[in-house]
Amino acid sequence: MTRRGFCQFVVLASGVPVFPLPARRWGQARETRSSGGEVQIVLFSDAGVRLETVRTRKVVKSDEEWRRQLSPLAFNVARRGQTERPFSGDYWNLHEKGLFRCVCCDTALFSSAAKFDSGTGWPSFWQPIAVENVERHPSRVTIHVESEVTCRLCDAHLGDVFDDGPRPTGLRYCIDSVSLRFVKSV
């Protein structure tokens, strides 16, 4: 069962009224988001030092190009919006200091300084390294569950964000390990 499916089951089982959002097919949403254009992102060194804010063209590739670049699992998660199994990724239990970059385009996404153990089996962060580098989209499941999180530069699916995280933000960015590349601090 996926993370979204599990959350939807819990909400439905609780008896809380659920109002589904209008259905949209993943391929259509992905094409709309990946139409090109420019975005603003913040560049970071591998040491996590903020360098500069830049405007750049979105990274847009064909499925064939993404398949050549990514593992089959990374393609299914990052490009098709699927979810890896909990406790199966490389980073859910990682406690080293460093920076997490997008597996597709290398954009800096999260710092280990904002990582915490949520007990869910996925890497969890209370904030992104720069809000400009990630984008939140309404849930495709229900309005009560979460928002999808994607990389702003390439539209890679990263995971979901929930409002049950620790202070100071109260957010839990629940991210698939396979959507990330970790750069250890030296």
Partnered with residue 174 across adjacent β-strands are: 124, 160
Partnered with residue 138 across adjacent β-strands are: 147
What's the CA dihedral at 175, 30, 1, 85 to 10 degrees?
-40
| CA 171 to chain CA mean position, Å | 13
Q: Is 174 a catalytic residue?
A: yes
Indicate the SS3 state at residue 79: helix
Cα(12)–Cα(185) distance, integer angstroms:
43
Q: Which residues are catalytic?
A: 174
